[in-house]
């Protein structure tokens, strides 16, 4: 059966399914369990069908299962499907039918996204797990410093990996019983973070050697380069490098009507984690240790204009330029020249 269009409203335990025939009439509605075996059993007869669903926790693996069965799968961008989430008569059954009808009318109205492969998802999870440990360590360090400060004392400045060793002797006697276990936990987290760093170095070296090309830019480290490649997955995904900016939500939203063209903030679409990494790299590039480069000079020109929040806007603009440059280097394999634009014409 290849002429049907199917909408699936994904749920945590069950999925609501609506099947439309070629004339747009509902020919079946049913619920299927949220397991691979159930999906394979039910959808085996729908090979070749067009299937629409929204992005969500289960959409990556569900879409892969259906593609393996021969279905043509569209994963709609849930943030853009206002016709579904803003409906005054919203229900799982109606959502499934609406997805099917939108896909049948014009698939582009779903603003379909492409999920990364299972391998990329698994490898990226190592980076995000490390990030979670880093944030937990930061919270514990801030807590220890804050508690000591509340008693009128201060702990020495030091790098996070050395914190649990350096400040142990500086703790006030009254707080040692309460805070020593936290220092031990911070030390344990530091060891686990180092283990992740070693694993990620091995992953990059064996599976993603192209990270070396991206790390030519001072301020772009292993984590950013690997996350960039795993998130975008292929340089061929974009016809032009400039398309990376909007994809990562680093370009302003648009609200133009007639003579009105409002200046809005960036859209913040796409992958939140990668956008945060690029902004962090941009802050380094514009910081006191940043290398003289086209990126830095571009940001400095924006800052020099002054105005409200000039530095913050410059950081975002440099992050966007950085994302574009990384894609260009990835696509071409060129040697990075920090002052390429500043070179005199031959």
CA-CA distance, 142 to 165, in Å (whole number)? Answer: 15
Domain boundaries, the chain: 5-110, 118-207, 213-332
- Residue range 190-200, pLDDT digits in tens: 999 999 999 99
Interhelix angle 59-68/118-149, rounded to 10 degrees, is 170
pTM of the full structure: 0.87
Q: How far is CA 254 from CA 236, 251, 261, 263, 264, in A?
A: 26, 9, 8, 8, 7
pLDDT of 254 reads 77
Average pLDDT over residues 99-110: 93
pLDDT of 301 reads 94
Share of the chain above pLDDT 90, in %: 83
pLDDT of 88 reads 66
Q: Which residues pair with 17 in a beta bridge?
A: 8, 30
* Residue 15 burial (10 A CB sphere; 0-12, 13-18, 19+): buried
Better pLDDT: 84 or 210: 210
Residue whose entry in the numeric block shows the structure tokens 């992740």: 196
Q: Topology of domain 5-110, per CATH?
A: Nucleotidyltransferase; domain 5 (3.30.420)
Average pLDDT over residues 311-325: 96
Neighbouring C-beta atoms of residue 104, cutoff 10 Å = 19
Instruction: State the DSSP string of 184-243.
Output: HHHHHHHHHHHHHHHHHHHHHHHH-TTHHHHTTSTT--HHHHHHHHHHH--GGG-SSGGG
Q: Which residues pair with 73 in a beta bridge?
A: 51
- Residue range 161-193, pLDDT digits in tens: 999 999 999 999 999 999 999 999 999 999 999
For residue 243, pLDDT over 70 is answered with: yes
């Amino acid at each position: 059966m290849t002429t049907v269009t199917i909408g699936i409203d994904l749920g945590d335990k069950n999925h609501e399914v609506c099947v439309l025939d070629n004339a747009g009439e509902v020919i079946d509605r049913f619920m299927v369990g949220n397991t691979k075996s159930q999906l394979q059993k039910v959808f085996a007869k729908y090979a070749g069908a067009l299937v629409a669903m929204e992005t969500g926790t289960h959409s990556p693996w569900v879409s892969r299962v259906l593609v393996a069965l021969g279905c043509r799968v569209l994963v709609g961008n849930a943030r853009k499907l206002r016709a579904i989430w803003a409906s005054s008569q919203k229900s799982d059954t109606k959502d499934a039918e609406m997805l099917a009808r939108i896909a049948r009318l014009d698939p582009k109205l779903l603003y379909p996204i492409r999920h990364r492969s299972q391998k990329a998802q698994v490898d990226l999870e190592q980076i995000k797990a490390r990030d979670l440990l880093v944030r937990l360590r930061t919270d514990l360090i801030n807590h220890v410093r804050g508690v000591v400060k509340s008693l009128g004392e201060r702990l020495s400045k030091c790098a996070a990996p050395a914190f649990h060793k350096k400040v142990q002797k500086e703790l006030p006697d009254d707080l040692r019983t309460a805070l020593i276990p936290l220092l031990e936990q911070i030390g344990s987290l530091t060891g686990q973070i180092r283990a992740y760093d070693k694993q990620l170095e091995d992953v990059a070296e064996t599976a993603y050697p192209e990270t070396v090309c991206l790390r030519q830019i001072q301020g772009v480290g292993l984590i950013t380069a690997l996350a960039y490649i795993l998130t975008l997955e292929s340089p061929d995904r974009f016809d032009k490098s400039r398309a990376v900016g909007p994809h990562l939500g680093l370009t302003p939203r648009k609200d133009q009507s007639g003579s009105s063209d409002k200046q809005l903030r960036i859209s913040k679409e796409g992958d939140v984690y990668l956008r945060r990494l690029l902004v962090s790299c941009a802050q380094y590039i514009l910081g006191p240790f940043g290398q003289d480069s086209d990126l830095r000079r571009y940001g400095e020109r924006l800052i020099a204009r002054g105005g409200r929040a000039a530095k913050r806007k410059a950081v975002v603009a440099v992050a966007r330029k950085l994302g574009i440059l990384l894609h260009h280097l990835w696509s071409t394999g060129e040697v990075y020249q920090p002052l390429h634009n500043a070179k005199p014409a031959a």
